[in-house]
Every structure is written in structure tokens, then in C-alpha cells.
Amino acid sequence: MTYGVIPARTDRSTRPLLASLVGVNTMMQARDALWGYVFLLPWIIGLIVFFLGPIILSFLLSFTKYDVITPPQFVGLANYETAFTGDDLFWPSLWRTFEYSIVVVPVGLFGSLLLALMLNRGLPGTGFFRTAFFLSTLTPAVALALLWSWILNPDIGPINVALRAIGIPGPGWLADVHWALPSVILINLWGSMGGNTMLIFLAGLQGVPQELYEAAAIDGASGWARFRHVTLPMISPTFFFNLVLGVIGALKVFTTAFVVTGGNGGPNYALWFFALHIYQQAFSFFKMGYASALAWIFVVILLAFTYFQVVLSRRWVYYAGGDE
């Protein structure tokens, strides 16, 4: 007799016993399922109260005029119309965010890939350099911004002090309208290039079969040819994953610009990014309805960029074992 299998034909005297056993088993499964939902309940409540609830509420508020003090007043699409046609900072902040992203995303990706390639060679001291490159990521974003604000201080910053010592007048960095954006780009690249993106690339590189490199070497492929025809195709899913996260992270730039400028956007709004624009509308001017509309416009932009990348990825991302 095989355990766990009920015979097709059973004696009438054994049927009540089997029925009771099946009933007990069903009750035990139901009890286990109930306790599973009980343990999931705190997470479900948190998801609804702190995640789904605010998302739905912000969508509803985007169609209202709401200043926290007075009750919301329904205004239809007026907030969205104001954003596109009546807000002098909407388009400049959006374009400035794109300018930042156009530089940070490719430089950050290829810089992280270069570091991962160096660390994947197995040279002496690799463990030390992995730790050293990752340390910048462990620094809190606010502390990192404050540290760089001192380093780039036009008067007492170490960089300008060193430049003056050799007779070169240093730029105004964060206090200069022309240097403010490059300064923030420098700060964020320094803080992110050796972080999670590098580690993800390193994991992808270590997953490339060595047999492919050996076969390419036997065929006489140079180092660049092996990188182009073996490494890049095999890590293309990793590259795509980092690209999507990099674009989203770059478009959401906020903390560094907020800290180094005190939230005022820098000289002549040079660091007035779109996320900072949303924050100021919500928590400085208390235009919660308008800020919610800006946030949903931002969501649509992020979804559009992500969808665009997913569509294009079908042309260049290679999945081992897949149809393409």
C-alpha cells in the first residue's frame, strides 16, 4: 500500500475512517492557511495604510485645490493645466533633471562596469579595493552632501585652497550658476559609481562561463573582441537592469541638491530639479493638490522611460536559454 494514496475501492467499514482522516487533513491545512494570513496581516495593513493608501489619496488630491488647512476643493484638470502652461519652473526643472540624467546615467554605468571589470581579474588586493570602492555607498547621502559642500567651498574648500596655492583661481562650484550642476553630478557620481551598480555588474561578470573565453581565445580573439562578443552579450541582462535603475534614480535626484542649497535650488535655480520642485510646492507653499499633480506627471514620465527601455531591450539584451 502506498502512503498518501486512497485506494479506489475501499471496504465500507473503512470509509468513515478515511473520510475522517481527509477531514482532519483539510482542517489542518485551513488552520495553517489561517495562521499564514494572520502573520501576513501586519504587512498587508502596512501596505494598504502606508503605500497603496497614499498613492490613491495623492491621485484624488491631484484633482483638487488643497492647502492642508482648508478642505480640498475639486478643480478638475486645473492643476495639470497649470503645470504645463502656467508654471514658470515646471519645464526648466524638468529639462534640468534630464540634463543631469543624460550625464550621470551613462558615465555612472560605464564607470561602474569598468571598476567591476578591474575587480573581476582576481589581482592581488582585490578584496581591499572592493571594500574601498563600496565605502562611499555606506556614507549617508546627507553626510556625503555636507562633506562635499565643504570640499567645494569657494573660500575655504581644500580644492580651491590647493588651486590658489599653485596660482589658479578656483571656480565658485556650488555657488556659481555655471558650475553648480557639474558639481552635483561630480558628487553623485563619486558616491554611486562604486556602489550597488558595481556589485551587480561584478555578479554578472562572475556568471559568464569561462569556457566561452577559452573558446574565443582558441579562435584567436583579442581581448577587446572577447569583451565585445562574449562579455557584453552575456552581461546584457545585468546591464539592462542597471540601466533601468540608473535612469529612475537619476530622474529622482533630490537629496544632494536639497542639502547643498538648503532647499532653495542654488544660484538662479541652477539646481532646481523636478523632485525638488514637487517638494517645494508641497511642503513650502503647501499646494498639496498641485504637488500631487506634479508627482503623477513624474510617475507617467518614469513609466514612459521604463517602457521605452523595455521595448528597446528586445533588440540588444541576450537571455541565455531564451528564444531571443
Answer whether residue 320 shows pLDDT above 80.
no
Structure confidence at residue 14 (pLDDT)? 55
70-84, 116-130, 135-149, 272-286, range with the lowest pLDDT: 116-130
> Is the model more confident about 51 or about 15?
51
Q: pTM here?
A: 0.84
Q: Tell me: the pLDDT tens digits for 240-263? A: 999 999 999 999 999 999 999 988
Q: Tell me: the pLDDT tens digits for 262-318? A: 889 988 999 999 999 999 999 999 999 999 999 999 999 999 999 999 999 988 998
Structure confidence at residue 6 (pLDDT)? 46
Which residue ranges make up each domain of the chain?
15-61, 78-316
Percent of the chain residues topping a pLDDT of 90: 63
- Give the model's confidence band at 324: pLDDT under 50 very low, under 70 low, under 90 confident, else very high: very low
CATH superfamily of 78-316: MetI-like (1.10.3720.10)
Q: Tell me: the pLDDT tens digits for 156-178? A: 999 999 999 999 998 999 999 99
> Is the model more confident about 293 or about 127?
293
Structure confidence at residue 3 (pLDDT)? 45
**Minimal CA–CA distance to 139: which of 79, 91, 191, 97?**
191
Q: Tell me: the pLDDT tens digits for 42-52? A: 999 998 889 99
Answer whether residue 16 shows pLDDT above 70.
no
- Give the model's confidence band at 1: pLDDT under 50 very low, under 70 low, under 90 confident, else very high: very low
Q: In terms of DSSP H, where are the helices of the chain? A: 15-47, 53-61, 78-85, 90-119, 126-138, 141-151, 158-165, 180-192, 196-206, 210-218, 223-226, 232-234, 236-251, 255-261, 274-283, 288-316
Listing DSSP states for 144-211 in one string gives HHHHHHHHT-TTT-HHHHHHHHTT-PPP-GGGSTTTHHHHHHHHHHHHHTTSHHHHHHHHHHHTS-HH
Q: Tell me the average pLDDT across 213-226.
A: 89
Q: Tell me the average pLDDT across 82-86.
A: 95
Structure confidence at residue 36 (pLDDT)? 84
